[in-house]
Amino acid sequence: MENTPNQTPGDDRVVSVREVGPRDGFQNEPETIATADKIELINELGRTGLTRIEVASFVRPDVIPQLSDGVEVLRGLDLPTDVERMVLIPNSKGLDNALQVRELFDAATLFVSASESHNKANINRTVRQTMDDVKAMGSRVVSEDIKFSAVIATSFGCPYEGKVPMERVLDLAEEFAAAGATELGFGDTTGMANPAYVSRFFSEANRRLPEVEVTAHFHNTRGQGLANAYAALEAGCRSFESSFGELGGCPVPKGSTGNIGSEDLVSMFHEMGVDTGIDLEVLIAAAQRVQDVLGRKLTSHSIVAGPVDWTGALMAANAG
């Protein structure tokens, strides 16, 4: 990557960015997006240099009708062979359904909330009931040679309970790792994280989970998403989730707005000299395309501003 004037010389850090908009983003839309549009948008994301995309969920259609066409979407995709196709699986029945089309995806995400109240509101089960089910599902996932990824929601705070102890979150993470998860995602589900706590959290997570890929998932509910991503990066995190156009948000409770925008996250990393392997201009074009599909403006900054134009700025300065 060519340095720009504000980059740190010699910064050779490399990060991985997973795009979750086609699942985490689309599920929160008030109207169902046409299957053909979903396929076109995901294929466009696959041409950005992204190597990991969460494309579908095997949740019950009556619970999240916006994702009821997951199998049709998976069947219609035309992605480069190096793009990992990930699906979210909420329970054993969902896993049964997913395994019927095992050839269509590469990785499965199983999840729990660290907060009892949020877990109950989200899937109507206790944390312990969920973990017992998840560990059994994890064994099946591993036996099918599927990548097992786990997500712990409300890792940085719960809208019902307030503070969620770090120890509780990391204990759950270690249970997942023992069950065979090779990646642990920590979700700031309703945007309650702050950079100082994020720094402490990921320093400890990396210490306690040395054999697991640790992933940060931040929401921009209170405008701190990119600051939190930067804090996680400085604490050693090298894996991030985000959503093009800043789509998404937690279905419960109300007011939990979207994930950090993928194009904003990638723009920040590139300006710092951090390599993502992603073509920012192509990614911005994909985010602009989803605006057309949804028929409304989205909230990410890079959709409006575009990439930083250092060449144009220098030419203008020299001309002056």
pLDDT of residue 200 exceeding 50, the answer is: yes
In the chain, helix, strand, coil percent, each to 5?
A: 45, 15, 40
pLDDT band at 249 (very low <50, low <70, confident <90, very high): confident
For the chain, percent of residues with pLDDT exceeding 70? 91
**Contact (CB, 8 A) for 97 and 128:** no
Which pLDDT score, from 0 to 100, does residue 2 have?
45
Which pLDDT score, from 0 to 100, does residue 317 have?
65
pLDDT band at 258 (very low <50, low <70, confident <90, very high): confident
Tens of pLDDT, residues 119-146: 999 899 999 999 999 999 999 999 999 9
Place of tokens 């109240």: 117
> What are the structural domains of the chain?
16-319 (3.20.20.70)
Q: How far is CA 184 from CA 157, 187, 195, 230, 270, in A?
A: 17, 10, 19, 18, 24
Tens of pLDDT, residues 140-170: 999 999 999 999 999 999 999 999 999 999 9
| Identity of residue 42 | I
Which pLDDT score, from 0 to 100, does residue 309 have?
85
Query: Omega before 253 cis (within 30°)?
Result: yes
Find all residues with CB under 8 Å of 62, minimum gap 6, and list them: none
Summarize the confidence of residues 78-91 as an average pLDDT.
Answer: 97
Which pLDDT score, from 0 to 100, does residue 255 have?
58
Tens of pLDDT, residues 296-315: 999 899 999 999 988 766 66
Strand spans (E) along the chain: 16-19, 52-57, 84-88, 107-113, 147-153, 183-188, 213-218, 239-242
Q: Which of 131, 250, 283, 298 is catalytic?
A: 250
For the chain, percent of residues with pLDDT exceeding 90? 85
Which pLDDT score, from 0 to 100, does residue 310 have?
80
Mean pLDDT of the chain: 92
Rg (the chain; Cα; Å): 19
The Cα–Cα gap between 245 and 242 comes to 9
Q: Angle at CA 48, nearest 5°, toward 43 and 14? A: 135
Which pLDDT score, from 0 to 100, does residue 1 have?
44
**Contact (CB, 8 A) for 146 and 102:** yes
pLDDT of residue 232 exceeding 70, the answer is: yes
Which pLDDT score, from 0 to 100, does residue 76 have?
98
β-partners of residue 151 are: 111, 185
Q: Is 250 part of the annotated catalytic residue set?
A: yes
Which pLDDT score, from 0 to 100, does residue 287 have?
95
**Contact (CB, 8 A) for 33 and 66:** yes
Q: Phi and psi (nearest 5°) for 275?
A: -85, 130
Which pLDDT score, from 0 to 100, does residue 250 have?
66
Summarize the confidence of residues 280-307 as an average pLDDT.
Answer: 94
Handedness of CA 75, 76, 79, 84 (dihedral sign): negative
Summarize the confidence of residues 18-28 as an average pLDDT.
Answer: 94
pLDDT band at 253 (very low <50, low <70, confident <90, very high): low
Which pLDDT score, from 0 to 100, does residue 256 have?
60
| pTM exceeding the 0.85 threshold for the entire prediction | yes
The Cα–Cα gap between 225 and 284 comes to 18
